[in-house]
Amino acid sequence: MPQVKIIAKNFMDMVSSLPAMKLDKLYENAFICEAILRSLPPLAKKYVLQTLYIDVPITAKSMEEWVLPDGSSKHRVAIDRLIQLRIFTETVDRRRETTYRIHPTFQTNLQKLVTLGEVLPREPMSSDITVRLPSLEDLEVYALAQWECFLLQLINSAQAERPLNISPSMMKVFQRGLLSQREKEAPRLTESGFQFLLMDTNAQLWYIIREYISNSEERGVDPADLISFLLELSFHVTGKAYNSNTLTEIQRSLIKDLTDLGLVKLQQGRKESWFIPTKLATNLSVSLTDSSARKQGFVVVETNFRLYAYSSSKLHSEVLRLFSRIEYQLPNLIVGAITKESLYNAFENGIAAEQIITFLQQNAHPRVAERIPSVPENVTDQIRLWESDLNRVEMSPAHYYDEFPSRDVFEAACDYAREWNGLLWEDSKSMRIVVKAEIHSHMREHLRRQK
């Protein structure tokens, strides 16, 4: 069953995937160098600072002496990360001695940081400007509302409703994996799209950001410039306002897309405009595995397969509808049931049992989240059993052979099919076999020669 591949990446993985020339260009930005330093694992950060004022290659053997024997695995991880990012260049000489050298541009910019202090890409709004900014609570509500609106547009697109709030560039991100569309037909969710809706918010955000970066060149945007701006944005202060006039033309267009996602809120003053990063933007500097910020759960599942969701969100209702039967909905309560029919519908759409169980566990209401297990075992076991019922029979194209002229020809055919790993079934008594469709042409040629 196809799965959406979400890798627990942070920006360092994206930076390391850039070609060498684009990476060198990225390191010309002093703030980016600072941001990358702050994002490194602790030991890798220590190595950078220790080699910051060393202008000659350092042998691998001497660096190994910097750590205790039980820290060798962390040492290898740190070195690998620095090499991936090209912060360290690895060289092996004729005597097979390995040496490392720090990237010269990266080194120069960090030396300036040490001597001149922190580098800021842009200053936040000064305190003497009288503009009413949203509180952190208001900003969080706004970000959540924008993100839910964004996801609802994905669901509504599949229901043939005209998208109202999503820019064409963002809709392209959907079209590249989450939605599919044939001629004269409304867009529909793919299997990946259904799976995407059950993911944790942070995983969903990373999926969208990765796709957004991967097709940036189609929009005339250099991926390195986009990664640079997103990395910079992730180190801004949540709730602080920054002057939009400090942005380049490309960055202004990116800000509009990021507003659709709820990463940024735009604020218009009398003369100038401002952008305010939300928690979604500042969380981009944290990897999926390190993210500890989880939304509060809202789902209670009972042993009788009844489901109660304490939420007024339309998005929550639509997501629950993917695998359960919604019976009625009150202003702050959704009541439903997990049934065999609702799960079969989910399985047919490409959603796996484990994805449903994980969703219920991650979104368990605080009253039941502390229980072990948070979702009754009889419910999780039955979800897995119903999925296995569908997987008992596997269909695959095949060809049936009978009426062999002799026992020798039959046995030779069986041996040939086994060699090609294509024998599915044989009846030695009646001299009948079934082979995989992909070896049929070879099998036919083999039998022709036997005659």
Residue 212 lies inside a defined structural domain of this protein: yes
Residue 122 lies inside a defined structural domain of this protein: no
Q: Which of 62, 86, 116 is the last residue of a domain?
A: 116
Residue 348 lies inside a defined structural domain of this protein: yes
Residue 92 lies inside a defined structural domain of this protein: yes
Indicate if 236 and 360 belong to the same structural domain.
no
CATH of the domain at 69: 1.10.10
Q: Taking CA 171 as the corner, what is the angle to CA 165 and CA 177, rounded to the nearest 5 degrees?
A: 145
Dist. CA 234–CA 11, nearest whole Å: 10
For β-strands 188-189 and 179-180, DSSP reports them as: antiparallel
Indicate if 144 and 226 belong to the same structural domain.
yes
Indicate if 223 and 307 belong to the same structural domain.
no
Per-position pLDDT tens, the chain of length 451? 344 443 334 567 778 888 888 888 889 988 888 888 888 889 999 999 999 999 999 999 999 999 888 888 999 999 999 999 999 999 998 888 999 999 999 999 999 988 887 666 677 887 767 678 899 999 999 998 888 888 888 887 655 444 456 676 676 676 677 887 776 677 778 888 899 999 888 888 888 888 888 888 888 888 888 888 888 888 788 899 998 988 988 899 889 889 988 999 998 877 788 999 999 888 776 654 444 445 678 999 999 999 999 999 999 999 999 999 999 999 999 999 999 999 999 999 989 999 999 999 999 999 999 888 999 999 999 999 999 988 776 777 899 999 888 888 888 889 888 888 888 889 988 899 999 988 888 888 878 777 6
Indicate if 72 and 201 belong to the same structural domain.
no
Which pair of tokens denotes residue 225?
């410039």
Indicate if 311 and 280 belong to the same structural domain.
no
Residue 248 lies inside a defined structural domain of this protein: yes
Indicate if 232 and 146 belong to the same structural domain.
yes
Which pair of tokens denotes residue 287?
């990897």
Indicate if 42 and 154 belong to the same structural domain.
no
Domains in the chain: how many in total? 4
CATH of the domain at 423: 3.30.70.2610
Residue 187 lies inside a defined structural domain of this protein: yes
Residue 3 lies inside a defined structural domain of this protein: no
Indicate if 160 and 218 belong to the same structural domain.
yes
Q: Is 34 helix (H, G, I), strand (E, B) or coil?
A: helix
Residue 292 lies inside a defined structural domain of this protein: no
235 and 38 in contact (C-beta within 8 Å)? yes
Domain that holds residue 224: 136-285
Residue 58 bridge partners (DSSP): 100
Indicate if 421 and 365 belong to the same structural domain.
no
Which parts of 280-418 are beta strand (E)? 299-301, 306-309, 325-330, 333-337, 398-401
Dist. CA 107–CA 33, nearest whole Å: 9
Indicate if 251 and 197 belong to the same structural domain.
yes
Indicate if 278 and 191 belong to the same structural domain.
yes
Dist. CA 282–CA 276, nearest whole Å: 11
Dist. CA 181–CA 174, nearest whole Å: 11
Backbone phi, psi, residue 135, to 5° = -70, 165
Indicate if 308 and 378 belong to the same structural domain.
yes
